Amino acid sequence: MSKHDYISDGSPASSRTTVESLRERPRAKVLIIGGGINGVGTFRDLALQGVDVALVERGDYCQGASGASSHMIHGGIRYLENGEFRLVKESVTERNGLLRLAPHYVKPLKTTIPIFSTFSGVLAAPLRFLTHKQHGTPKERGAFGGTVPRHEFKGRTKALQELPRLNPGVKYTATYFDASVHNPERLTLDVLQDGQKAAGGNGTARAANYVSVTGIGDEGVQLRDELTGEMFSFTADVIVNTTGAWVDLTNEALGSPSQFMGGTKGSHIVLDHPALFDACQGSEIFFEHTDGRIVLIYPMGDRVLVGTTDIRADMDEDAVCTDEEITYFFDLIKHVFPDITITRESIVYSFAGVRPLPRDDAEHPGFVSRDYRIEHGDREIAGTNVPVLSLVGGKWTTFRALSEHMTNDVLTILGHKRKISTAKLPIGGGADFPPTETDIQAWIARRVSDDLDAARVEGLLTRYGTRATDVITYLAAGEDRILHSTRELSLREIEFMVRHEQIGHLIDVLIRRTSLAFRGLVTAELLTELAQALAGPLGWDTARVAQEITHAQDVLRRFHGVPVHSPIS
Ligand SMILES: Cc1cc2nc3c(=O)[nH]c(=O)nc-3n(C[C@H](O)[C@H](O)[C@H](O)COP(=O)(O)OP(=O)(O)OC[C@H]3O[C@@H](n4cnc5c(N)ncnc54)[C@H](O)[C@@H]3O)c2cc1C
């Protein structure tokens, strides 16, 4: 089994209305293949321009590279080393934009670089840049509204005062502010829902997960409903291939093979380790490891994220974090915090993904260009020549700008004019998000009721941004109960997710609608209770509930290194 091709007995029509609509009206102006952040971003932009657009994702949204990133929305100053100035400029602009447009999920990130040797190595260029900036105009500071301190250099003594467990061999530290995305999976959903909302329910912005492109037939592109196994054809005037590291495989399925991609695998582990967490003092530790790679130790919530590797990927194999990579991570922690001992028991979750990088024969994968390009091709489909646009590359940070470029290319082909720019449009639950901690507390206080205490309202605001208002209204409209196995979810909230968030499998809720798996909070009891809670609204029978539990256990064990023992029945 791969995590992509699990076929079940089928789910009720109610959860698959979009798939039905794709079957009933099997054409659109644009078909986007791939529901990672770049496909979804392009979907939103095209829908906002009033273009009839359909998107299909073979698994769940954000299950590819978009769900495997280091969570950084970064200015990308390290790309200065590769001379990628265009990308750096765009990344800084986009990072600053996302801090304003999606403040519910994108937050400033304090980053500290410990330096052990001299101004050489991969981080030399960024450091020279920072040093230079230190004496120049701190242009970037304005982006944070002047509320975030600028970069700072500290000598050994001060650095060790601030981070006492740091390797005493440190020469100095550099600290600056970047940004991070706390909930990439939910941000992807927000972008998707913005697109659906833009079409105002008129059926011109249709997106379906668990639908894959499998090939091409006489009547169009062949689609397969991955929940039922049913096949159907679909046609469009333009095809957008945003299948990330799978772009070449998708083009092959479309009958026009390409050799654009040369992805590299990167893994991460998530640790429950209070001493390591404290040692970071709230800062992401970003540094050059002894092998010259840039790696990170990043306290997130009450866990610590450690990554990442950069290994040429074999697309025939599933990307998983290997034992060897875990040893590498332990090594890099030892390098920075030599007196902290980590054992495998502290790992609560691991994940891996393939970066959709352009094909390149560079000896060191870390030096492959991180910039993106759009390849234009065409393919005869159902008797017509159809332009096929393939995205090669494209980081999380730059998804909005990339989507704008892709949309502009599509609009040119269709002969349409852009109606609206996404540069200043708030994203989903980022709209009217309370800007300060005081405003956040006031927002929460206004929504506390007999049924919802402050902690629960805060949890909803964190999960949905200001879209939490819709959830709260939904919760209040019927009888509700918090699950026994987690204080974070209630029966009606799960029902809300089923209605609005296209849940195909139990695992979607654990990994992508919530962060329960990431934080290592999945228990056998939770699996059972959640599967039973989903069963009603999704129409699952007992056999399907059992199947979903086994499937979730399998995915957690094989792809995330999490053993969850069978529920006691
Ligand atoms: C380890 C790692 C760390 C990273 N860290 C960062 C970071 O800190 N900051 C940053 O900005 N970027 C980072 N990136 C890069 C970033 O995550 C990716 O470049 C970005 O998410 C790519 O998005 P995408 O939509 O193009 O591709 P993907 O997210 O991979 O989406 C492609 C989708 O296409 C689907 N698909 C494939 N074949 C088919 C088919 N036949 N039919 C239908 N659907 C199909 C897949 O299921 C997948 O969901 C990182 C990437 C990795 C792997």
- Output the pLDDT for position 283: 96
Atom of ligand 1 nearest to the CA of 355: 53
Note the pLDDT of residue 142.
36
In a shared domain, residues 249 and 346:
no
Low-confidence ranges of the chain (pLDDT < 50): 1-14, 133-149, 568-569
pLDDT at position 15 is 56
pLDDT attached to residue 411: 98
CATH number of 27's domain? 3.50.50.60
Question: Which phi and psi (to 5°) does residue 401 adopt?
Answer: -65, -40
In the reported structure, the alpha carbon of residue 245 is separated from the centroid of ligand 1 by a whole-number distance in angstroms of 7
- Structure confidence at residue 4 (pLDDT): 40
Does any ligand 1 atom lie closer than 6 A to the CB of residue 221?
Answer: no
Ligand 1 pocket residue status of 35, Cβ below 6 Å:
yes
Q: Does 279 fall in a domain?
A: yes
- State the pLDDT at residue 1: 41
Nearest-angstrom CA–CA distance, 365 and 120: 19
Alpha helices in 465-505 (DSSP H): 468-476, 491-500
Task: Please check whether residues 341 and 392 belong to one and the same domain.
Answer: no
CB 305 within 8 A of CB 298: yes
SS3 373: strand
pLDDT for residue 6: 37
Beta bridge partners of 354: 265
Q: Is the CB of 72 under 6 A from ligand 1?
A: yes
- Among 84, 231, 243, 254, residue to substitute to test ligand 1 (most atoms within 8 Å of Cβ): 243
Q: How many CB atoms sit inside 10 A of residue 486's CB?
A: 17
320, 342, 363 — which closes off a domain? Answer: 363
Query: Residue 473, preceding bond cis, omega within 30 degrees?
Result: no
303-307 and 264-271 strand pairing:
antiparallel
Domain boundary at 414, 431, 449, which? 414
The pLDDT of residue 3: 45
> Residues 285, 252: one domain?
no
In this structure, the answer to whether residues 225 and 315 fall within a common structural domain is no
Q: Is there a contact between 76 and 397 (Cβ–Cβ < 8 Å)? A: yes
CA dist 179 and 358 (Å) reads: 25
Choose the residue to mutate in 43, 246, 392 for probing ligand 1, maximizing ligand atoms within 8 Å of C-beta.
246
Residue 88 placed within a domain? no
* Overall size of the chain counted in residues: 569
Any idea what the CATH number is for the domain that residue 136 is in? Answer: 3.30.9.10
Q: Are residues 270 and 355 in the same domain?
A: yes
Structure tokens belonging to residue 370: 């991180």
Do residues 249 and 354 share a domain? no
DSSP annotation of 166 reads S
- 329 and 255 in one domain? no
Q: Is residue 447 part of a domain?
A: no
Would 386 be classed as within a structural domain? yes
Enclosing domain of residue 304:
106-178+264-363
237 and 300 part of one domain: no
Structural domains counted in the chain: 2
Task: Quote the CA–CA distance of 372 and 555 in Å, as a whole number.
Answer: 31
pLDDT of residue 345: 95
Mutate to test the pocket of ligand 1, among 61, 69, 306 (most ligand atoms within 8 A of CB): 69
Q: pLDDT, tens digit, for every residue of 157-197? A: 999 999 999 999 999 999 999 999 999 999 999 999 999 99
Specify the pLDDT at position 75. Answer: 80
**What tokens were used for 178?**
């970047």
- Cα distances from 504 to residues 11, 228, 548, in angstroms, run 8, 11, 10
Residue 22 and residue 163 in one domain: no
Asked whether residue 89 is domain-assigned, the answer is no
Residue ending a domain, among 293, 328, 363, is: 363
In sequence order, the 6+-apart residues with CB closer than 8 A to the CB of 150 are 138, 140, 141, 176, 177
What does the pLDDT read at residue 60? 98
On the 0-12 / 13-18 / 19+ scale of CB atoms within 10 A, 366 is: middle
Query: Are 170 and 271 in a shared domain?
Result: yes
**Residues 173, 119 share a domain:** yes
Ligand 1 lined by 36 (C-beta under 6 Å) = yes
Tell me phi and psi for residue 42, to 5 degrees: -70, -40
Joined together, the tokens standing for residue 92 give: 């800084």
Is 350 part of any domain?
yes
Atom of ligand 1 nearest to the CA of 308: 1
- My answer on whether 276 and 307 are in the same domain is yes
Summarize pLDDT for 119-160 with one digit per residue, the tens.
Answer: 556 566 566 555 554 443 333 333 344 334 467 889 999 999
Cα 270 from Cα 273, distance rounded (Å): 9
